[in-house]
Amino acid sequence: MRIPKEEVPARVDVPGATARQIKDFGDATGYGKIGGEYFSLSAGTDLAPLLKGLDGDLCQSPHWGYIIEGRLLVGFADGHTETASANDLFYWPPGHTVKAEKDTEMVLFSPQHEHGQVIDHILNQLQAK
């Protein structure tokens, strides 16, 4: 699920201030502490090879975030893909992979335990190369 800024409904819109809110944007039930993450990915970066060996060869942590700049192609376990671009809010459920179509800067909020395991796996994959 992703949504461009312009499509997030304005709840408050007065001169000098706009507050936009999308409700039911993912579910964090059952997760512990959340980590805040800032990622920079160069165009062409494909995480799929680094996720091999995880369940379904996919990232199994959910993420909520915002694309500051760039564009990503996100593939999901059910086979569908979507493009997330600058100014998009997004929620990615467990079971996804990411490829940068353009240089990308983004902010993620992820369950730190689950995403920590994925990052540890990626580091192990990088060391094995």
Banded pLDDT at 86 (limits 50, 70, 90):
very high
**CATH, range 2-23+32-128:** 2.60.120.10
Query: Residue 11: is its pLDDT beyond 90?
Result: no
Report the pLDDT value the prediction gives residue 27, as an integer from 0 to 100: 81
Mean pLDDT of 71-96: 96
- Of 89, 94, 85, nearest to 115 by C-alpha is 94
pTM value is: 0.86
Q: Which residues contact 35 (CB under 8 A, 6 or more apart)?
A: 109, 110, 111, 112, 115, 116
Where do the domains of the chain lie?
2-23+32-128
Query: Residue 117: is its pLDDT beyond 80?
Result: yes
pLDDT, tens digit, 9 for 90 and up, residues 16-75: 888 888 888 888 888 888 989 999 999 999 999 999 999 999 999 999 999 999 999 999
